[in-house]
Structure 1
Amino acid sequence: MASKPDETRDGVDLTNLDQPLFDGADARKRDLVDYLDAVHERIVPELRERPLSVVRIRPGQPKFMQKNVPKYTPDWVKTVQVWAEASKREVSYALCDDRRTLLWFANQRAVEYHPTLMRADRWDRVTHLVLDLDPPEGETFSMAVQAALLVRQALTDCGLSGAVKTSGAKGVHVIVPIVDTVSIEDAAAATRAIAARAEKIDPSVATTAYIKDDRHGKVFVDSTRSGGATVVAAYSPRVRPGTTVSFPVGWDDLESVTPRDFTVRTAPALLGDRDPWAEQLPAPQEIPEDVLLEGRAIPVARVAAMHEGKRRKRAREAEEQKRAD
């Protein structure tokens, strides 16, 4: 017999609310539920009609990413079937379109929310470009901030604008809404071009090198989030010490914050009645032709890295064979 719920909200039974969320969370499951409920009017628009992957964590177990909804998912949770080429199967993704679904996910200990860049009804278009600023291991958030400012300058120079948020981990995300006439391929090309332009502004800070050994302590301007990729939503918690949140920050405030400023405990009071992400996101923009032309000429990072890795392996093997001879 199922245990009696601690409480019920919007028809969702909530259980074990006083359990610790995870080691180092400085939060209980109740804090997660309360936070997501408090921000549901802000985060649900970021998730609505987008196939959703979530990061869950069960007591005493490592975190895991869930794409396929479990068999016990209530029938009122909307889903969409998506063919996964890598695994050669259909994946049933949830669509978190309302408060009730969000609360159900929270009760499942879903901490992180990663929607796709495209909507379920328009698989041939992404709605925004994503530039992910990832500082090197052991470096500070301030390095990612400096790289984000380079991205902002690159955007300004080509007549575009974007909004910025902490990733909730150690990096920064710059989001650039685009019009729906841009193909997936051109959106990816534009992202590569903007990343390359940011790197050129100050190559001592930023790099587009996909292979880690080639970054030499610089911030990686990751331009590979395109097509069917996901990015953690604004306002999503993270499975990080303190249960930090991916939080919108004004460009002028970016240098004066740290990721630990924004947690499930502190974020609601900082937000008040505002929705800074909705306020800061620019309207969808046309991508200038020169940006598209430049990006089309830049190889896809993962493909280029794969070929370079194979080339280096052959070179090492040849050198080893030479020494053996």
Structure 2
Amino acid sequence: MASERITLTVPGPAGDREVGLSSPNRVIWPELGITKHELAEYMIAVSGPLLTANGDRPVSLERFPDAVGGESFFSKNPPKGAPDYVESVTVTYNSGRRHPQLVLTETAATLWAVQMNTIVFHPWASLTANTDNPVELRIDLDPQPGTGFAQAVSAAHGLREVLREAGLEPWVKTSGNRGLHVFCPIEPTHEFLDVRHAVIAAARELERRMPDRVTTKWWKEERGERIFVDFNQANRDRTMAGAYSPRALAGASVSTPIEWDELDAVDPASFTVRSIPARLAERGDPWAGLLERSGRIDTLLQWWERDLAAGLGELPFPPEFPKMPGEPPRVQPSRARKPDA
């Protein structure tokens, strides 16, 4: 018996395209009854701002063959048989290996991703024109046990002040979970390692001002009840959920751009696959024009050099990275070998 299948027609730069959707009634979010077809309709409704934020750049797709809560895997490379409107760009990974990576440039491509069981879109911070140099400085404010969204909001306000003092203009979005993502558009003049150092400099400055509320400690056992300023999300090939991307959580939450003046009253759980289209229709996209006002990271890099001179060196990299110059030992502090008494 043939599986159920529908066809969706969407406009594109080359005219209307027809995209097939198999198993449209398969339930993806069981608690809410949201189906694959409803997710596809969501992608059509938000395609403009979603592509502005996530298109024309390398992207990894987080795919769920069944439903949220089930097994998942990441797709980075264009699979065999992908339609010609699903583009790719060759990127260099941290290992030095070069390989094509997916690029989404039109609505039909996002629907194809849904057909491939994608729920979460993870874009790089760089564009296809120059994948080695980010156009965004990204900081993930990650609540630790004993903290929550309210504490992330407080940290975000403090971080905004720090970044503005460095000559950058921050934009904010919910992570789709408990945290916040702060982005600054930057000129693509520096490669990923430099941008990571700029993020570390901003994080350390925020930590000086809010030592009881934020931390840059990489090891969880050292963080305490503070917001972790995740500097490692600035690394090459490390990504976070993109703007307007759904999350694979029970409530079908969405990582949602917001205005700074609404941050204090925001309930991130209210931003869902079902609510965001109406929000966009009513308020528009708070991130419209984000890349039109790019700043420079020169001041943050001066802070980085200042901190180096003061004895504050490199911080740990993620475990899948090769050993990096100046990096401290990758060993949990409680397991580190103690010097002889």
TM normalised by structure 1 equals 0.88
> Which of 308, 311, 314 is 1:300 aligned to?
314
What is the alpha-carbon distance in structure 2 between the residues aligned to residue 165 and residue 310 of structure 1? 31
CA deviation map 1:149-203 (0-9, x unaligned): 1111211233322100001111100001111223433322211111111111111
State how far apart, in whole Å, the 1-side matches of 2:94 and 2:166 are: 35
2:64 paired residue number: 57
Tell me which of 225, 237, 242 is aligned to 1:217: 225
Structure 2 residue 80 is matched with structure 1 residue 76: no
Equivalent-residue separation in structure 1 for 2:91 and 2:292 (angstroms): 29
**Counterpart in 1 of 2:280?**
271
Inter-partner Cα distance in structure 2 for 1:128 and 1:101: 23
| C-alpha distance in 2 between matches for 1:212 and 1:311 | 10
The residue number in structure 2 matching 1:287 is 297
Change (3 A) 1:282 1:258: farther
1: distance between equivalents of 2:196 and 2:157? 21
Deviation by residue 1:240-285 (Cα, 9 ceiling, x = unmatched): 1211111011111111112211000011111116122115667101
Q: Distance in 2 between matches of 1:67 and 1:241?
A: 25
Aligned partners of 2:74 and 2:141: how far apart in 1? 22
> Match of 2:7, as an amino acid?
E
Deviation at 1:84, TM superposition (A): 3.7
Which runs of structure 1 show a deviation greater than 6 angstroms over 4 or more consecutive aligned residues?
A: none
CA contact (8 A) 1:207 1:219 kept: yes
Amino acid aligned to 1:5: R
Gaps of 5+ in 2: 10-16, 318-325
- In structure 2, relative to structure 1, the CA distance for the partners of 1:308 and 1:81 (3 Å cut) is closer
1:81 CA displacement: 3.1
Secondary structure class of the residue paired with 2:112: helix
Q: Residue 89 and residue 20 in structure 1: after superposition, are their counterparts in 2 closer, same or farther (change >3 A)?
A: same
- What one-letter code is carried by the residue in structure 1 that aligns with 2:109? T
Is 2:80 aligned against 1:97? no
2:14 aligns with none
Conservation of the 8 A alpha-carbon contact between 1:22 and 1:59 = no
My pick for the range that moved more, 161-170 or 61-70, is 61-70
Q: 1:309 to 1:92 in 2, by over 3 A?
A: same
Deviation at 1:100, TM superposition (A): 1.0
Q: Distance in 2 between matches of 1:95 and 1:107?
A: 16
* RMSD, aligned CA: 2.5
Matches within 5 A, 1:1-325: 3=3, 5-9=5-9, 10-24=17-31, 26-59=33-66, 61-86=70-95, 90-137=98-145, 139-228=147-236, 229-272=238-281, 274-278=284-288, 283-289=293-299, 291-296=300-305, 297=308, 298-303=312-317, 307=329, 309=331, 313-315=335-337
Flag the 1:116–1:14 CA change in 2: closer, same or farther, 3 A.
same
Higher helix proportion: 1
Q: 1:204 to 1:282 in 2, by over 3 A?
A: farther
Are the aligned partners of 2:314 and 2:328 in contact in 1 as well (CA < 8 Å)?
no
Cα pair distance change 1:2/1:300, threshold 3 Å: farther
* 2:134 and 2:188 in contact (8 A); partners too: yes
Q: Closer, same or farther in 2 for the Cα pair 1:26/1:165, shift >3 Å?
A: farther
CA 1:272–1:53 in 2, change beyond 3 Å: closer, same or farther? Answer: same
Q: How many Å separate the matches in 1 of 2:290 and 2:129? A: 25
Cα 1:242–1:7, aligned 2, differ >3 Å: closer, same or farther? same
Asked if the contact 2:142–2:229 (Cα under 8 Å) also holds between the matched residues in 1, the reply is: yes
Matched AA of 1:275? D
Change (3 A) 1:253 1:310: closer
Amino acid at match of 1:269: A
Amino acid at match of 1:6: I
Instruction: Please give the alpha-carbon distance, in whole angstroms, between the structure 2 residues aligned to 1:203 and 1:105.
Output: 42
Identity of aligned residues (%): 31
**Cα-to-partner distance string for 1:43-96 (whole Å, 9 max, x where unaligned):** 11222221110111112641222222322322332122334454x755432110
Compared CA separation, residues 7 and 179, structure 1 to 2 (3 A) = same
- Structure 1: stretches of 5+ with no match in the other structure: none
1:305 Cα offset (Å): 7.6
C-alpha change, 1:259 and 1:282, in structure 2 (3 Å) is farther
Q: Secondary structure at the match of 1:277?
A: coil
